[in-house]
Amino acid sequence: MAEIVNLRDAVASLIHDGDVVALEGFTHLIPFAAAHEVIRQKRRDLTLVRMTPDLIYDQLIGAGCARRLIFSWGGNPGVGSLHRFRDAVEHDWPRPLEVEEHSHADMANAYVAGAANLPFAVFRGYAGSDLPRYNDRIRPVSCPFTGEVLTAVPSLRPDVTVIHAQRADRKGNVLIRGILGVQKEAVLAARRALVTVEEIVDDLKADPNACLLPHWVVSAVCVAPRGAHPSYAYGYYERDNRFYQAWDTIARTRESFQTWLDENVLKEQAA
């Protein structure tokens, strides 16, 4: 049963130090508002899971929330590097960051296996790649019928998955529209799910086959208008491409990042 609560209470009750947390959204509907609340509540030692740790994880990593990162592509899309991510990996600042690295196909399959309550996923992956040499969680598995050897990875089962969606109804049924990414699988694979939405409506007016999460698989729904900014919410607002470009400068030095964080995330704590 999804409770409709405020974001501060939802983060306080659902996300704990040391949790495995997936904040998903594939360039669309990235849950920035929730991530900022996690930073304000000073969560520590999180294992952050995300296919594309872009600005949202650069911020969480730079703010010192993360101990470990499970990911498949870490960059500022169309712009360049994630400087806070690189500073953590290359110089242990603000703290060392363990990295567990996969491919997109691997992580997408691992979320599907998690949603399906299977311990592992089977796919055709990594042929000729060096990655399996450095990641013991990528192993061979043989077909019991043909003997063909395929790739297996453990399923992803986060303690908490956090996503942003366009709308929820008053019961807490959640509607996602447009680019879907892996959000549905990430929610169903997790023990708890926190969903921020642009608005609560009386009637979702959803197509029968729309991507809808029933209220009883969601732990909490929070209203967070523009909660995906600087990413976008299809049907609500556009991607703020200028901010993605500006981030390259903001995150380049520890000082400029800290200043930005103080002014744009932490000071809201007072509010």
Partner 1 sequence: MTRLTTEIAYTTTEMMTVAAARRLMDRAVCFVGIGLPSTAANLARLTHAPAIVLIYESGPIGAKPGVLPLSIGDGELADTADTVVSTAEIFRYWLQGERIDVGFLGAAQVDRFGNINTTVIGPYEHPVVRLPGAGGAPEIAGLAKEVLIVLEQSKRTFVAKVDFITSAGYLNGGEDRARLKLPGKGPVAIITDLCIMEPEPVSNEFVVTNLHAGITRARVEEATGWKIRFAEGMKETPEPTDRELSVLRDLHQRTAVAHGRAD
Q: Which is nearer to its own copies, 70 or 220 (CB)?
A: 70
Minimum CB distance to partner 1, residue 207 (Å): 9
Reply yes or no: is the peptide bond before residue 94 cis, omega within 30 of 0: yes
- Residue 201 binds partner 1, judged by CB under 8 A: no
**Helix (H, G, I), strand (E, B), or coil: what is residue 117?**
coil
Question: Residues in contact with partner 1, total (CB under 8 A)?
Answer: 68
Contacting residues toward its own copies, per CB under 8 A: 116-120, 122-124, 137, 139-141, 143-146, 148, 150, 152, 154, 177-178, 180, 207-211
Residues 17-56 that bind partner 1 (CB under 8 A): 26-28, 51-52
Identify each DSSP E strand in 27-159 by its residue range: 46-50, 66-71, 98-101, 120-123, 139-142, 149-154
d(CA 150, CA 141): 5
Contact of residue 140 among partner 1, its own copies, none (CB under 5-8 Å per partner type): its own copies
CB of 268 to its own copies, least distance (A): 33
Name the one range near partner 1 by CB under 8 A: 13-21, 37-45, 230-238, 256-264. Answer: 230-238
Nearby residues of 44 by Cβ (< 8 Å), 6 or more positions away: 17, 18, 64, 65, 67
Is residue 199 within 8 A of residue 61, CB to CB? The reply is no
